[in-house]
Amino acid sequence: MALSISTSTSYFNCVSSSNLPSSSSSPFKPFKFPPFWPWQKVKMGPLTVSPMGFGTWAWGNQLLWGYKESMDTDLQQTFNLAVENGINLFDTADSYGTGRLNGQSEKLLGKFIREFPGNRLQDDIVIATKFAAYPWRLTPGQFVKACRLRRPDSLLISPQVAVNLKRLDCSIGLRPGSSAVIGTESRRFDCITKASSMAGITTAGKKKAVEVFDSEEVLAVSLAKYTADLSENFCKERGCFTVVLSGGSLIKSLRKLLEPPYIDSIEWSKWHVLWVDERVVPKDHVDSNYKLAYDGFLSKVPILPGNVYAINDALSAEGAAEDYETCLKHLVNTKVIETSSASGFPKLDLMLLGMGPDGHVASLFPGHHLCNENKKWVTFIKDSPKPPPERITFTFPVINSAAYIALVVCGAGKADAVQKALGKDQSSDVLPVQMVSAEGEFKWFLDKAAASKL
Ligand SMILES: O=C(O)[C@H](O)[C@@H](O)[C@H](O)[C@H](O)COP(=O)(O)O
C-alpha cells in the first residue's frame, strides 16, 4: 500500500497495492510527514479539525479501484497511520464505495474507527458525510432516514458528525471542512432542515440535550443557573452577552435570575436583550412581548435601557421587520453580535425559546411558508394562528445560528408536541420545533408534565 501526500491538494491519495507499479518505478514520492503537526488543528464552526482531511472515495469502490475485502487490513493500517499523524477529518458519502446509496466507504470508516488500536477516537474524529438527494430521495421521510443512518450511534460512531448538506443534488463531496450550509432551494432547505433535525443531527454536529425536571419551579432554578453561567462565560470572553427572549410563559421561568445569587452576581450592564418575535402592537399593549418582559423581568434588573432592543411599534408589520433587521445588522457591524462562520447569519449568544402546543417556535407556525425563509434575518406574519395576527419573527437561519438555545416547555398541554418532536415514531410532517438546531448547544428544558408522553 503506497501513500503519497500531494501537498498542493492537501489530502491523502491512497491506492491499493494491487494496481501500483513496482516500487522502483513508483510515481509516488516517499512518505513525508504532513506539513502540520497533530496539535495544529483548526476550528470549523464548533469543531476542531486537522487542516488536512482524508478523502475516502476509493474505499469499497470495486468498480474503479478494484476493492476487495482482503484489502481491509491495509486500509485499516492506512487509517491508523493517518490518525497517528494528526489527521482527524475524514470525508465520505453514502455513494462512496460501490453498492446502492449506502456505500461501503461509510461502513469501512466506522469499522476502522472502532478497531483503531490507539486510545478511543470517539471524541476526536470528525466525519464529513453527504447523501444524494434527487432523484433518489424526494420526501422528508426519505431525508430523515438518510440522516438517521448517519447518526453517531448508528452507522458511524463519531459523536461529532459534520453533515455536509450543501451539494444535495448529487453526492459529489465538498472538500472536507466546508461548513454545513443548508440546501440551495427553499424546498430542499425545507426537507433537509427538517430531516437533519428530526434525525437528531444538527448541521453543527452537536446532538440535542434534553433535561426533564420534576416541576416548573425546579426547572426555573436550573434555567437561572444555565443562563448565569453562560452570561459569565460570554462576558469574560466577549465583554458582552446577547440574550434573545420569547414571549409567553418563558418570562415567568426567568424569575430565579431576580433572586440572589444571580441578581447580584450577573454583569447586567453587559447584557443586550432582543426578541425572537414580537407582536405588532404598541409597546404598552397587553399583547406586547416587550411589555411582558419589562413588567416581569427587565424592570427588575439593571440592564442598560440602550441595550434593550424593542421593535419600532409605529411601523407596519413589514416595516417593523425591516427595521429590526437593520437594528440587528447595526449590532453585527458594531461587534455586539457575532457572525456565524458556518452560516454567515448573526450568531446570538443565548436564545431563550418557548414552544406552542402546536409545536411552533417564535412566530414560525406549522406548515407556514415562513418556516422555509432562508435569506431574511427577520420577517413578518399577518395571519398568525396564535393571536394577535400581526407579528415579526426571526427566521430559522438566525435561530439556528445561535451559540446556545434553551427551549423551555412546561405543562401537559405541550406533551403531544414534545412527543412528536422527541419521540421515536416520527412522522414525516415536521413541526417547526423540530427544525430548531444550534451551532453550539441546544437544550430542552422540560417539566414532567410536558414530557409525560415521552
Ligand atoms: O410571541 C409569542 O407568542 C411567543 O414568542 C411564542 O412563540 C411562545 O414562545 C409560544 O407560543 C409558547 O408560549 P407559552 O409558553 O406561553 O405557551
- Tens-place pLDDT, residues 394-441: 999 999 999 999 999 999 999 999 999 998 766 668 999 999 999 999
Question: Residues 282, 288: contact at Cβ < 8 Å?
Answer: yes
Question: Residue 443 — pLDDT band, cuts 50, 70, 90?
Answer: very high
Cβ(362) – ligand 1 distance below 6 Å: yes
Residues 6+ apart with CB under 8 A from 288: 278, 279, 281, 282, 313
Q: What pLDDT score was predicted for residue 188?
A: 43
At 147, the pLDDT band (50, 70, 90 cuts) reads low
pLDDT at 183: 31
**Which pLDDT score is estimated for 122?**
56
Under 8 Å between Cβ of 128 and 89: yes
Asked if residue 209 has pLDDT above 60, the reply is yes
Q: Name the H helices within 297-358.
A: 317-333
Q: How far apart (Å, rounded) are the C-alpha atoms in residues 447 and 412? A: 9
Tens-place pLDDT, residues 102-123: 568 878 887 888 788 877 665 5
Q: Is the CB of 249 under 6 A from ligand 1?
A: yes
Distance CA 166, CA 173 (A): 9
Please check whether residue 93 is in contact with residue 103, taking contact to mean a CB–CB distance below 8 angstroms: yes
Going by the DSSP 8-state scheme, the letter that residue 185 receives in this structure is S
CA of 386 to the centre of ligand 1 (A): 9
Four-residue CA torsion sign, 232, 237, 243, 244: negative
Bigger pLDDT: 276 or 117?
Answer: 276
Q: Is the pLDDT of residue 20 over 50?
A: no
Q: Whose CA is nearest to atom 1 of ligand 1?
A: 247
- Ligand 1 atom at minimum distance from 354 CA: 9
Say how far apart CA 294 and CA 351 lie, in whole Å.
17
In the reported structure, the alpha carbon of residue 356 is separated from the centroid of ligand 1 by a whole-number distance in angstroms of: 6
Confirm or reject: Cβ of 289 under 6 Å from ligand 1: yes
Three cell numbers, residue 298: 427587565
Residue 445 and residue 304: Cα distance in Å, rounded? 28
Q: Is 96 helix (H, G, I), strand (E, B) or coil?
A: coil
Helix (H, G, I), strand (E, B) or coil at 225: helix
pTM for the predicted model, two decimal places: 0.64
Amino acid code (one letter) for 109: L
Q: Which atom of ligand 1 is nearest to the CA of 289?
A: 1
ipTM: 0.98
What is the structure's pLDDT at 197? 46
401: nearest Cα among 443, 361, 342 = 342
Q: Report pLDDT for 96.
A: 77
Cβ within 8 Å of residue 306, ≥6 positions away: none
